[in-house]
Structure 1
Amino acid sequence: MEIAGGGPFSSSANDLVSSQSLVNPQSSVETRGTTVINSVHSFVDHRFVQKVSTTSDNSLDGDLVSPKSNTNVTRSKPSLQDVVKCNDVYPYFSTAQRGDYWVLYNYILAERKFHCWESITYTSHADYTFLDNLVPLLDRWQGPISIALYTPGTDFDNTLKVIKYLRDCTTPLVTELVTFHLYFPARHVPKHIPKPSEIFKSPTNCSILPPWSNTTASSTYKSQKKLLYPVNVGRNIARQTAATHYILASDIELYPSPGVISDFLDMVQRQDPPLLHKKPKVFPLSIFEVESNMNLPGDKTELVAMLKNGSAIPFHKKVCAGCHNVPKSKEWMKQEVTPGLHVFHIGKRMGYFVHWEPIYIGTHQDPYYDERLSWEGKSDKMTQGYTLCVMDYEFQILDNAFLVHKPGIKTLKKDHARAVLAGKTNTMIRKVIAPELRILYGTRKGCAI
């Protein structure tokens, strides 16, 4: 993703505190017959979401469970609500500090609400210059989106103009499905922050060009002040506030293949055998790039045809092939396409794939991203990938679901300033972060950052 930014360390321990100590009084543990209400085993702050989980055994395990036994000869298919262990969340607007940042959680809320089990939330991060991706993303996703926008200084006002244009002048799906969170450094607070209810009082001139059409990255406040882009702060904010049990934490320029939500949830409801494995699991989607003059493939059959004629290639093949090289990728392309979605192969982040940076469907139980890492410094997802490996996660690769980058093949470009920052980041990872992770999570043979 070609976003710039970064920032001072904002320890997850400062903000991602256990909901066990932060749940509202009415959400505290109580027994009702054999049912126990517990705070969910995920890091959720009561300031912006209230969440409880209902289980019958006081278990906080987030794995999927097998359908309850049925004495009848014919088993009925369990409901999705029965299969997914979760309970609904209630997002609301709040302002809070997160390390060196101020965050406006749920600043602009999506109008449509979802039960935690009935959809998947696409979570992402950006600054306002990337919001032109939102409409094509929604066109393919057709589900809830939680996005954290970096808005230091005057970028805040420009961000509001873009959001207002998107809601008033483009698809109604923006208003229906997208929740916006805004964050900025304490040293670069906007001069004025209107209440969310005040933003849409004035009409929008939809006859003019979209606000992003005449904007360049170099014209932003962030660029003029030479601020780094704190990519993982945004990733964690968007993930943390997702209202659904399942989450697709991705980059805004990566568009999913159509129908992922319904096909994935149908797979969950079927409880295919790999989903019953006891080990923690995530579901990676293979990623591709297409030529700038090409339309996005509508399904895997179209994608494979484009791969064969060279108009599509694996993601970052010309930039960092090892970062996104997916286990059994050749077999994945050759596999016969069948209806629905299934687990194609269970991979590990080891051996040839030790530096794999998968983008996957996961849950609130998965580790967060280290907020000391910036986009410019690179390796911003590597430490999280290492943690997944040490925790012995299964990477259950999906057969017919994929992501396609906004059209345009990326090539490797030399950037001396970024190379210097990347060197500093690698030193910090080696000397500071890696030793911390070994203490926190232990080690596992074959796992590396």
Structure 2
Amino acid sequence: MRGTRFWVMYNFVPGDRRFNCDESVTYTTHGDFTFVDNLEPLVRRWRGPVSFGLYAPGDDFLPSVEAVAFLRQCGDPLVAELVSFHVIYDVDKVPVNVTDADEVLSRRQDCSRPPPWRGTVSFRKAKRLTYPVNVARNVARETVMTHFVLPSDVELYPSAHLVEQFLAMVWRNEKVLCQPRPKVFVLSIFEVNETMSPPHYKDHLTAMLKNGSAVPFHKRMCASCHTIPKAKEWTFSKETKQLDVFHVGKRHAPFDKWEPIYICTNDEPGYDERLTWEGKMDKMGQGYAMCLLDYDFMILNNAFLVHKPGIKSYKPDKWRDTLVAKQRRFVINAARLELDRIYGQRKQCVLK
């Protein structure tokens, strides 16, 4: 049990390869079975361990396990080697048959058939279940073998050679980075046109930004949520041979709505598990807590994430808009008060 609302099957299907704590960085992510097709392009770029919180309530459990089995047998071998799956479902949506993972994985898959996630409407969507995004984020992050983690979304693909470049940077700057001031290492995020392939290197990304085939992440949804300090300077600075810190930012105005994605450790504050993906602002409380703790956001010079091709635009949704208004009131009032009492107040930190 996790709290009073969810069951979690930790390491339901572990990756085949084990890692020492200083050997790599773990990409921690989440989704239901309709998102697992992103794991192949992700692991081909990342080439390090991945921890996946798999939400599988009720009738989604069996297709979720079948999707994992299909990926491991029919997909890129890197998935079986690197990805560990942790299954999550609600206490009032327990599957009829909680199948043992070994039993399903031992079945030989027909790799000529379409993947089990293709053309399938999930139980979650059919029943309009809210997605416990922060439960999945925390489960994936807490189960890693490595010291450093990158909590991110499965549709965000990293730039090339990020793991080895990041670890090399850490070893080069060990004395500086071991100072007690809290810090995380921020990656810039972008979107590309549906017809384009996500770039691997910064110089290619910069060219795409200049010709308009790439844009900053959520530019048409919530530009202030992902605009990093010195964003223009970062964009037009040349790619270098090694990874370094480009700029140290703070989550102060005008960046008080910033939702950065970063490499960190499990010492950082967790995500508020009362919040859902549909209600939005699901990472705002964690960002506010980090501001109160006076974190340095160390923006990396060459590292970035690119969303699965396709530039998002806002689409009205009355059902979701109701949830957004309710969750916003909760975050700004109750959650902020709790965080102020736990961490104290800081003049530059706001949550609105």
TM range (shorter): over 0.9
Contact 1:377 1:425 in 2 (8 A): yes
Query: Which of residues 158, 161, 165 in structure 1 aligns to 2:70?
Result: 165
CA distance, structure 2, for counterparts of residue 196 and residue 121 of structure 1: 23
Establish whether residue 225 from structure 1 lines up as the match of residue 124 from structure 2: no
CA deviations 1:85-133 (Å, max 9, x no partner) are: xxxxxxxxxxx44331000000001110000011000001100011110
CA deviations 1:217-236 (Å, max 9, x no partner) are: xx211122221101000000
Establish whether residue 332 from structure 1 lines up as the match of residue 237 from structure 2: no
Structure 1 residue 201: Cα displacement: 1.8
Establish whether residue 342 from structure 1 lines up as the match of residue 249 from structure 2: no
Query: Which of residues 49, 54, 59 in structure 2 aligns to 1:144?
Result: 49
Letter in structure 2 aligned against 1:389: C
Counterpart in 2 of 1:175?
80
CA distance, structure 2, for counterparts of residue 196 and residue 141 of structure 1: 25
Q: Mapping of 1:342-421 within 5 angstroms?
A: 342-421=244-323
User: Helix, strand or coil: the match of 2:337?
Assistant: helix
Query: Which of residues 118, 121, 128 in structure 1 aligns to 2:23?
Result: 118
Letter in structure 2 aligned against 1:191: V
CA distance, structure 2, for counterparts of residue 307 and residue 273 of structure 1: 36
Query: Which of residues 267, 290, 303 in structure 1 aligns to 2:169?
Result: 267
Structure 1 residue 335: Cα displacement: 1.3
Establish whether residue 438 from structure 1 lines up as the match of residue 340 from structure 2: yes
Query: Structure 2: any 5+ residue segments left out of the alignment?
Result: none
Contact 1:288 1:312 in 2 (8 A): yes
User: Helix, strand or coil: the match of 1:137?
Assistant: helix
Letter in structure 2 aligned against 1:346: V
User: Helix, strand or coil: the match of 2:305?
Assistant: strand
| Closer/same/farther in 2, CA of residues 315 and 115 from structure 1, 3 Å limit | same
Structure 1 residue 157: Cα displacement: 0.4
CA distance, structure 2, for counterparts of residue 264 and residue 178 of structure 1: 20
Structure 1 residue 145: Cα displacement: 0.2
Structure 1 residue 336: Cα displacement: 2.1
User: Helix, strand or coil: the match of 1:199?
Assistant: helix
CA distance, structure 1, for counterparts of residue 108 and residue 5 of structure 2: 35
Query: Structure 1: any 5+ residue segments left out of the alignment?
Result: 1-95
Contact 2:65 2:101 in 1 (8 A): no
Letter in structure 2 aligned against 1:231: V
CA distance, structure 2, for counterparts of residue 97 and residue 307 of structure 1: 43
Contact 1:181 1:238 in 2 (8 A): yes
Query: Which of residues 33, 39, 49 in structure 2 aligns to 1:134?
Result: 39
CA distance, structure 1, for counterparts of residue 332 and residue 232 of structure 2: 33
CA deviations 1:401-442 (Å, max 9, x no partner) are: 000000001111111211111110111112311111111111
Structure 1 residue 173: Cα displacement: 0.6
| Closer/same/farther in 2, CA of residues 321 and 250 from structure 1, 3 Å limit | same
Aligned-residue identity in percent: 50
CA distance, structure 2, for counterparts of residue 276 and residue 245 of structure 1: 13
Contact 1:357 1:385 in 2 (8 A): yes
Establish whether residue 304 from structure 1 lines up as the match of residue 206 from structure 2: yes
TM-score (norm 1): 0.77
CA distance, structure 1, for counterparts of residue 3 and residue 46 of structure 2: 29
Establish whether residue 244 from structure 1 lines up as the match of residue 151 from structure 2: no
CA distance, structure 2, for counterparts of residue 229 and residue 260 of structure 1: 29
Contact 2:41 2:157 in 1 (8 A): yes
CA distance, structure 2, for counterparts of residue 337 and residue 376 of structure 1: 37
User: Helix, strand or coil: the match of 1:346?
Assistant: strand
Structure 1 residue 272: Cα displacement: 6.2
Letter in structure 2 aligned against 1:381: K
User: Helix, strand or coil: the match of 1:353?
Assistant: coil
CA distance, structure 2, for counterparts of residue 97 and residue 348 of structure 1: 33
User: Helix, strand or coil: the match of 1:134?
Assistant: helix
Moved >4 Å (runs of 4+):
none
User: Helix, strand or coil: the match of 1:401?
Assistant: strand
Letter in structure 2 aligned against 1:412: Y
Counterpart in 1 of 2:9?
104
Query: Which of residues 95, 98, 105 in structure 2 aligns to 1:193?
Result: 98
CA distance, structure 2, for counterparts of residue 220 and residue 111 of structure 1: 28
